């Protein structure tokens, strides 16, 4: 008696049916298992776009398989065009997956510690094949995802798709919008450069404003891990970015998706009677089946989008990398990430608690419960003039507040600092660092005499400088002069000093502001980071 008896059913079948039919049947069986219900002949039918048999065998994978279980078996053919969905929900999911994949690649090369995080970035850029591509794609994807998710919400509002029975779908969507924003924001800190540190410092300082003081202080400590952002803060943001928020996102996304299956895709507002939801009762002749139409369409979108994203990051977009984070050096203009500029704009309106916490908090709360209060039955545009007007006003207000959040509005800095910051900004390379190094001829130049500078680059720089120092001229300050001094400092290294001089009218005293930059022949700021 043997200890094991090995029994291979395929051998029995070969014995019974012969070699070829048995293998063909086995292959068919494997295909059916992988596709969760479609055999080889049906897969071929899908690929050829043959009409399905009855009952439609192509519905089986939706029933038996996990992945398609989350997708509807068919759509109303009114949804075939770009309107009304604009594919924004699909795009949001695409970017979520895209960020997960590129993010995992980046995690391999990252350690969440202020001692090495920045060095990790340099290593990624200088020593990891495809490292820059992945970083650029992750960053570009994050920015696009914020845009796409926000537009998706706006679209859902405009077409009235949040109305009964989809109230809860909307609420999970608001959670997903929050997850997207905080995911993007928490990722900001990880490179540990100046941009990260100061953008996040601004964001985190809003938490600190929460009243009463005890709560604000405690929350601030929880978020930053210490009174100032340091090793603990970085670790917290990292864990939030790679585990906490993606988990919340996956759960909320699951619920969101399931609700879409459950209620069906909402149709264009004009397609149904007021107060009736026919999304689940699509007549046979108006159905577009997932297999093969939607599936091929989505596969096409995926491949085209990836090609576009790679092309964009290979040729046009590079994620910025500023100098190492330094808590002692505050750049001249620090701003929150662009999608939080509206909060920064509101902060300029007055009280930090009111405008930084209460108003954004109330707005988010209102957004979350909107479908439970705005219960007008009609989704038609003509019946929702008030709601649509409110949405239009809200979009305009966001745009205006975001503008107000930029340094162009309500920030008083001295004109002399601004004049030099135009040529030598602290947050991006700027014209002086990008100028042709060889054309920075050693010498001392006056901005007003820009036309007589020896090289074209110098003329251009001095002309800009000259325009900027005109703004320093004011009733309080006269006789404004701008001087640029270029010295050879080391082999391949030049020292450039920009100075603004003026006379104060009141006292007759002369004043000056100057800044120095060292530029190396090979520093090549033009390549993006």
Partner 1 sequence: MKWRILLGTLAIVAVAGLLGMIALRERDRMAGFTQAYHARQIEVGAALFENNCRTCHGPQGKGIDGVAPAINAADLFNGQRLAAIGYIGTVEDYVRGVVAAGRPIPSAGTNYPNRMPTWSQRYGGPLREDQVDSLAAFIMNWEEQATGGAVSTPAAPGEVVGTDIALTLPEGNADSGQALAETLGCGGCHLQSTVGPAWQAEGTQPGIGGRAADRFAQPDYTGQATTADQYLFESIVSPGAYMVPGFGQGLMPGNYGGRLSKQDLADLIAYLLSLR
Interface ranges with partner 1 (CB under 8 A): 49, 115, 118-119, 122, 125-133, 292-293, 296-297, 299-300, 303-304, 306-307, 310-311, 314, 323-324, 326, 444, 479, 481, 483, 485, 487, 489-493, 495, 497, 499, 501-503, 510, 512, 514, 516-525, 527, 529
Closer CB to partner 1, 137 or 150, in the complex: 137
Closer CB to partner 1, 390 or 442, in the complex: 442
Percent helix, strand and coil across the chain, each rounded to 5? 60, 10, 30
Asked if residues 464 and 487 have their Cβ atoms less than 8 Å apart, the reply is: no
| Rounded distance between C-alpha atoms, residue 411 and residue 404, angstroms | 10
Where do runs of H (alpha helix) occur along 193-281? 194-208, 213-224, 231-239, 245-263
| Rounded distance between C-alpha atoms, residue 520 and residue 460, angstroms | 20
Closer CB to partner 1, 85 or 172, in the complex: 85
Closer CB to partner 1, 310 or 396, in the complex: 310
3-state secondary structure of 103: helix
Q: In what order do the strands lie in the sheet containing 510-520? A: 443-446, 477-490, 493-504, 510-520
Nearest distance from C-beta of residue 179 to partner 1, angstroms? 28
Nearest distance from C-beta of residue 303 to partner 1, angstroms? 4
Nearest distance from C-beta of residue 208 to partner 1, angstroms? 26
Interhelix angle 415-423/456-470, rounded to 10 degrees, is 160
Calculate the dihedral angle through the C-alpha atoms of 441, 443, 447, 453, rounding to the nearest 10 degrees: -50
- Burial (CB count <10 Å: 0-12, 13-18, 19+), residue 162: buried
* Helix or strand holding residue 518 (H, E): strand 510-520
Nearest distance from C-beta of residue 228 to partner 1, angstroms? 15
Give the HSE-up count for residue 23: Cα atoms under 13 Å, Cβ half-sphere: 3
CA 60-61-64 angle, to 5 degrees, is 85
- Burial (CB count <10 Å: 0-12, 13-18, 19+), residue 99: buried
CA distances for 370 relative to 89, 161, 349, 363, 374, angstroms: 19, 12, 26, 10, 6
Nearest distance from C-beta of residue 436 to partner 1, angstroms? 15
Closer CB to partner 1, 34 or 116, in the complex: 116
Closer CB to partner 1, 40 or 288, in the complex: 288
Tell which residue, 48, 85, 94, has the closest CA to residue 292.
48
Closer CB to partner 1, 164 or 471, in the complex: 471
Nearest distance from C-beta of residue 469 to partner 1, angstroms? 13
Closer CB to partner 1, 389 or 474, in the complex: 474
Nearest distance from C-beta of residue 473 to partner 1, angstroms? 13
Nearest distance from C-beta of residue 412 to partner 1, angstroms? 24
Asked if residues 172 and 255 have their Cβ atoms less than 8 Å apart, the reply is: yes
Nearest distance from C-beta of residue 501 to partner 1, angstroms? 5
Closer CB to partner 1, 42 or 208, in the complex: 42
3-state secondary structure of 78: helix
Asked if residues 339 and 181 have their Cβ atoms less than 8 Å apart, the reply is: yes
Q: Terminus-to-terminus CA distance in the chain, angstroms? A: 72
Closer CB to partner 1, 44 or 521, in the complex: 521
Nearest distance from C-beta of residue 434 to partner 1, angstroms? 13
Asked if residues 277 and 211 have their Cβ atoms less than 8 Å apart, the reply is: no
Nearest distance from C-beta of residue 324 to partner 1, angstroms? 5
Closer CB to partner 1, 115 or 400, in the complex: 115
* Helix or strand holding residue 479 (H, E): strand 477-490
Write the CB contacts of 525 (distance below 8 Å, at least 6 apart in sequence): 429, 433, 434
| Rounded distance between C-alpha atoms, residue 449 and residue 408, angstroms | 29
| Rounded distance between C-alpha atoms, residue 444 and residue 358, angstroms | 54
Nearest distance from C-beta of residue 430 to partner 1, angstroms? 14
Closer CB to partner 1, 461 or 496, in the complex: 496
Nearest distance from C-beta of residue 313 to partner 1, angstroms? 9
Is the N-terminal amide bond of 55 cis, ω within 30° of 0? yes
Closer CB to partner 1, 221 or 493, in the complex: 493
Q: What radius of gyration do the chain's Cα atoms show?
A: 30
């Amino acid at each position: 008696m043997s200890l094991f008896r090995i029994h291979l059913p395929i051998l029995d079948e070969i014995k019974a049916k012969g070699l070829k039919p048995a293998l063909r049947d086995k292959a068919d069986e494997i295909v059916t298992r992988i596709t969760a219900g479609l055999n080889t002949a049906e897969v071929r039918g899908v690929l050829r776009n043959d009409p399905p048999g009855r009952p439609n065998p192509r519905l089986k994978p939706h029933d038996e398989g996990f992945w398609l279980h989350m997708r509807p078996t068919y759509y109303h053919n009114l949804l075939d065009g770009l309107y009304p969905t604009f594919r924004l929900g699909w795009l949001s999911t695409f970017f979520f997956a895209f960020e997960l994949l590129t993010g995992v690649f980046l995690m391999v090369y990252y350690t969440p510690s202020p001692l090495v995080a920045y060095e990790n970035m340099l290593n990624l850029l200088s020593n990891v094949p495809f490292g820059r591509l992945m970083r650029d794609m992750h960053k570009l994807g994050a920015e696009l995802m914020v845009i796409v998710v926000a537009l998706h919400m706006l679209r859902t509002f405009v077409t009235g798709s949040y109305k009964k029975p989809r109230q809860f779908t909307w609420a999970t969507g608001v959670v997903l919008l929050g997850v997207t924003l905080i995911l993007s924001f928490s990722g900001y800190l990880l490179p540990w450069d100046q941009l990260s540190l100061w953008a996040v410092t601004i964001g985190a300082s809003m938490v600190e404003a929460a009243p009463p003081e005890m709560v604000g202080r405690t929350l601030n400590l929880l978020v930053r891990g210490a009174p100032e952002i340091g090793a603990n803060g970085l670790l917290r943001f990292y864990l939030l970015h790679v585990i906490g928020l993606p988990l919340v996102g996956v759960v909320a996304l699951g619920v969101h998706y399931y609700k879409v299956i459950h209620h069906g895709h909402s149709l264009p507002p004009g397609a149904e009677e007021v107060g009736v939801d026919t999304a689940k009762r699509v007549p046979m002749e108006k159905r577009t089946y997932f297999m093969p139409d939607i599936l091929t369409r989505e596969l096409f979108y995926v491949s085209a989008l990836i090609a576009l994203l790679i092309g964009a990051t290979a040729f046009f977009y590079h994620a910025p990398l500023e100098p190492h984070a330094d808590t002692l050096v505050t750049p001249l203009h620090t701003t929150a990430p662009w999608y939080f500029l509206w909060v920064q704009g509101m902060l300029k309106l007055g009280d930090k608690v009111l405008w930084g916490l209460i108003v954004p908090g109330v707005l988010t709360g209102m957004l979350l419960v909107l479908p439970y209060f705005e219960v007008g039955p009609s989704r038609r545009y003509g019946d929702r003039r008030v709601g649509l007007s409110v949405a239009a006003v809200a979009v305009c207000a966001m745009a205006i507040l975001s503008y107000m959040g930029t340094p162009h509005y309500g920030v008083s800095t001295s004109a002399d600092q601004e004049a030099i910051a135009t040529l030598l900004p602290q947050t991006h390379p700027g014209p002086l660092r990008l100028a042709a190094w060889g054309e920075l001829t050693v010498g001392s130049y006056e901005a007003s005499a820009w036309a007589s500078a020896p090289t074209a680059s110098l003329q251009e720089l001095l002309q800009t400088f000259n325009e900027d120092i005109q703004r320093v001229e004011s009733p309080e300050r006269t006789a404004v002069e701008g001087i640029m001094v270029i010295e050879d400092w080391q082999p391949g290294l030049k020292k450039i000093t920009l100075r603004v001089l003026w006379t104060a009218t009141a006292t007759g005293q002369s004043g000056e502001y100057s800044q120095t930059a060292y530029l190396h022949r090979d520093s090549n700021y033009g390549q993006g980071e």
